[in-house]
């Protein structure tokens, strides 16, 4: 985050019909500055994105267009809020530098990664499955009004499944294992029921949990792309086994996946065929995340997630050991 001078902050606030004095800074924006304000009785989050080499106005607009469609059709995601001029995304130039503004309704609850293990009841996991299944069901009928705002294919953009920027310096043996996986994954069918606009970064830091009302709110769709819907299920299982599984990943993984799918299937069908693809998709994720974390990993400086994930990870990848031992056909 950067310190915004008062003139810029006032200009940003006016785009949304308020004043700078009504903006309260909050954390959680990565490189963006994030503020909260109230308008017409609604708590709203404003993100001010400064000039950044990875920022593309068109790509950000494509995310907002999708979120507006998703939430308008009942999807449980952050609902975009239009500016005073009725725009989902506001460009702003200051001294020749491009800024991008966007706003969302504030979601109830807390980030999922802050929930205690005992709070992940079967009912709460089912609620997560329903939120995801609903998003995928809505995605089946989505097409951007402007074809130029179509999101990329999953293997054309950068994500945990496809960390393109890391491939040039990656170890050859690891890339060979990934290439072998890709020969199978690339042959998967891409029909309307199985392939569409997916989140692709749905880890436990990217959705809110309202325990009181058992409601999930999905957020951070910056990596969303056209891919197989089951990729989002793979990501949730992948992350939950690091964050919560402890010493018994098989038992916890089975409990989590069974309930996640029970909720998911209330909103959208999922055939056993796609569950049989989870081992390859989990391994693809394992390789992608390993390449990312390994760049500057040290046990002394790594966070808790990295210290749980990294020990023995390279060896497991090279030996082609399953990410988790589960009979996926049984779910």
Phi-psi map region of 305: left, alpha, beta (phi>0 left; psi -120 to 50 alpha): alpha
Total count of domains within the chain: 2
Picking from 43, 78, 105, the residue at the C-terminal end of a domain is: 105
pLDDT at 6: 65
Quick check: 93 pLDDT over 90?
Answer: no
pLDDT at 96: 79
pLDDT at 226: 98
Quick check: 29 pLDDT over 70?
Answer: no
Picking from 78, 105, 132, the residue at the C-terminal end of a domain is: 105
Residue 311 lies in a domain: yes
Identify the weakest region by mean pLDDT among 48-57, 125-134, 259-268: 48-57
Quick check: 1 pLDDT over 50?
Answer: no
HEC string for 277-323? CHHHHHHHHHHHHHHHHHCCCCCCCCCHHHHHHCCCHHHHHHCCCCC
Quick check: 112 pLDDT over 90?
Answer: yes
pLDDT for 216-249, tens place per residue?
999 999 999 999 999 999 999 999 999 987 778 9
* Predicted structure pTM score: 0.94
Evaluate whether 136 touches 196 at the Cβ level (below 8 Å).
yes
Quick check: 94 pLDDT over 80?
Answer: no
Q: Specify whether 123 is located in the same domain as 97.
A: no
Quick check: 13 pLDDT over 50?
Answer: yes
Range of the domain at 43: 6-105
Q: Specify whether 94 is located in the same domain as 114.
A: no
């Amino acid at each position: 985050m950067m310190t915004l001078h008062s003139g810029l902050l006032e200009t940003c606030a006016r785009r949304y019909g308020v004043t700078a004095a009504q903006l309260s800074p909050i954390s959680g924006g990565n490189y963006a500055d994030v503020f909260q304000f109230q308008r017409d009785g609604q708590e709203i989050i404003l993100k001010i994105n400064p000039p950044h080499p990875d920022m593309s106005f068109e790509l950000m607009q494509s995310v907002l267009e999708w979120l507006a469609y998703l939430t308008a059709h009942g999807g449980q995601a952050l609902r975009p809020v239009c500016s005073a001029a009725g725009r989902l995304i506001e460009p702003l130039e200051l001294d020749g530098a491009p800024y991008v503004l966007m706003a969302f309704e504030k979601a109830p609850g807390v980030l999922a990664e802050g929930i205690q293990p005992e709070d992940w009841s079967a009912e709460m996991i089912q609620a997560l499955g329903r939120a995801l299944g609903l998003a995928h069901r809505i995605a089946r009928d989505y097409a951007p009004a402007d074809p130029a705002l179509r999101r990329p294919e999953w293997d054309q953009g950068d994500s945990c499944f496809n960390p393109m920027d890391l491939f040039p310096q990656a170890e050859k043996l690891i890339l060979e294992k990934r290439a072998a996986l890709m020969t199978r994954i690339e042959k998967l069918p891409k029909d309307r029921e199985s392939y569409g606009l997916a989140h692709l970064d749905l880890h436990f830091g990217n959705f809110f949990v309202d325990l009181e009302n058992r409601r999930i709110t999905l957020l951070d769709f910056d990596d969303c792309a056209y891919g197989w819907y089951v990729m989002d299920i793979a990501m949730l299982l992948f992350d939950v086994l690091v964050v919560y599984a402890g010493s018994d990943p098989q038992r916890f993984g089975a409990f989590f996946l069974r309930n996640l799918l029970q909720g998911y299937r209330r909103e959208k069908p999922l055939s056993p065929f796609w569950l049989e693809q989870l081992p390859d998709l989990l391994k693809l994720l394992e390789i992608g995340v390993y390449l990312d974390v390994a760049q500057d990993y040290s046990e002394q400086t790594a966070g808790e997630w990295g210290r749980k994930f990294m020990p023995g990870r390279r060896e497991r990848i090279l030996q082609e050991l399953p990410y988790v031992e589960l009979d996926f056909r049984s779910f």
